[in-house]
Amino acid sequence: MADRSFLTWPFFEDRHRALAEALDTWCAAHLPVDHSDTDAACRALVRMLGEGGWLVHSGATSGERLDVRSLCLIRETLARHDALADFAFAMQGLGMGAVTLFGSAQQQEWLSRTRAGKAISAFALTEPGSGSDVARSTATARREGDHFLLSGEKTYISNGGIADLYVVFARTGEAPGAKGLSAFLLPAETPGLEVVERIEVIAPHPLAHLRFNDIRLPASALIGEAGSGFRIAMSVLDIFRPTVGAAALGMARRALDEALSRVKSRQLFGAPLHELQMVQGHIADMALEVDAAALLVYRAAWTKDQGAARITREAAMAKLYATEAAQRVIDAALQLHGGDGVRHGMAVEGLYREIRALRIYEGASDVQKVVIARATLDG
């Protein structure tokens, strides 16, 4: 049973504790799902999460606001039970983050569908030649009267190929570099959207390389103001980077649970495995990593919920430490399982594959170090 004592920390209110307990009960009854068909599993998970009422927390319309502590608690809990369920939830939030924060009333009508699990969303920012360096994006949206012509490519797009709508970032040319980007809402059935390739990775998720072949978009597809795309993207990532740390935290907690079960039940050299001091040292390191990650994740979430305009430094710290720590915790758990740790189908083997991508997406670990350093130097 995962440690729940952190719910007594002053970061949380009673509603957060109730949310975590209710979701844990729901997860125990519904997860994991069958992963043999990744696309089908993701569609089923989005539908299940919508029907369960959990996707209500993934977006907000005018008069509402995202509660980042709730987002983090949900992602941590889902990731502890089933990493693909966490992915399905997270993409509904990240995919619609720009619409939640900056969308028009017309654009926010989509939220009634994504929050109900009746439409799948995606966030299309990364390009073949510009991953972490968003300012180098080359996809363009050229204004022609009351329309835009969208051209270019995006890659490693989560939910690519199964999404019902995409938030796409493209260059509109108001200024060089980051100041010349804009964000657009692109329904998947729009003519000219091409799925060039479905991308296979070590932990299967729906990913795709997309091409935009002079897609004709109405001016109403523009999210916020022209030229504000970089600010929109960074504002969305500011909120969702701590939740990546929360997902990593959930995986780390699961790994620690699996390790505890293993060392308490396994005999080695005529004694329980957990009596070996070297094993106790590993367990101590793992417990320390988990709590330190949790403190950083929920510090960032609490700070944003208290009304901070930006939490760039706190979000980067939470994302960096929690994902790196989870990698170490999971690796230690696998080592304590011995040969069984690398056996396909074992929980720690699956976690080992799942955690690796979290150190890359939404800003790779080295990029987070640059963000933290700059914020510290400027402070």
Domain ranges of the chain: 5-119, 122-227, 230-378
- Both structure tokens of 30: 């519904």
pLDDT of 159 reads 97
Q: Which of 153, 289, 324, 362 is catalytic?
A: 362
**Per-residue pLDDT for 192 more than 70?**
yes
**Per-residue pLDDT for 1 more than 70?**
no
pLDDT tens for each residue of 80-128:
999 999 999 999 999 999 999 999 999 999 999 999 999 999 999 999 9
Among the CATH numbers 1.10.3470.10, 1.10.645.10, 1.10.40.30, 1.20.140.10, which is that of 230-378?
1.20.140.10
CA distances from 68 to 211, 287, 299, 361 (A): 33, 24, 11, 19
User: What topology is assigned to 5-119 in CATH?
Assistant: Butyryl-Coa Dehydrogenase, subunit A; domain 1 (1.10.540)
pLDDT tens for each residue of 131-175:
777 888 899 999 999 999 999 999 999 999 999 999 999 999 888
pLDDT of 320 reads 97
The per-residue pLDDT of the chain, averaged, comes to: 94
- The model carries a pTM of 0.95
pLDDT tens for each residue of 29-77:
999 999 999 999 999 999 999 999 999 999 998 778 899 999 999 999 9
C-alpha to C-alpha distance for 178 and 345, rounded to whole angstroms: 44
Contact call for residues 150 and 203 (beta carbons, < 8 A):
no
For residues 246-258, average pLDDT: 98
pLDDT of 357 reads 95
206: exposed, middle or buried (C-beta count within 10 Å: 0-12, 13-18, 19+)? buried
Contacts of residue 242, Cβ cutoff 8 Å, sequence gap at least 6: 68, 72, 297, 300, 301, 304, 311, 314, 315, 318, 319
**Per-residue pLDDT for 184 more than 90?**
yes
Preceding peptide of 187 cis, ω within 30°: no
C-alpha to C-alpha distance for 359 and 366, rounded to whole angstroms: 9
C-alpha to C-alpha distance for 326 and 351, rounded to whole angstroms: 10
Which residue is associated with the tokens 């109730």?
Answer: 18
pLDDT of 161 reads 95
C-alpha to C-alpha distance for 259 and 263, rounded to whole angstroms: 6
**Per-residue pLDDT for 187 more than 70?**
yes
The amino acid at residue 312 is T
362 catalytic? Reply is yes
CA distances from 45 to 84, 261, 284, 374 (A): 8, 28, 35, 39
**Per-residue pLDDT for 12 more than 80?**
yes
pLDDT of 363 reads 87
User: What topology is assigned to 122-227 in CATH?
Assistant: Butyryl-CoA Dehydrogenase, subunit A; domain 2 (2.40.110)
For residues 233-245, average pLDDT: 93
pLDDT of 135 reads 80
Provide the angle, in degrees to the nearest 10, between the axes of the packed helices 83-95 and 229-265: 170
% pLDDT > 70, the chain = 100
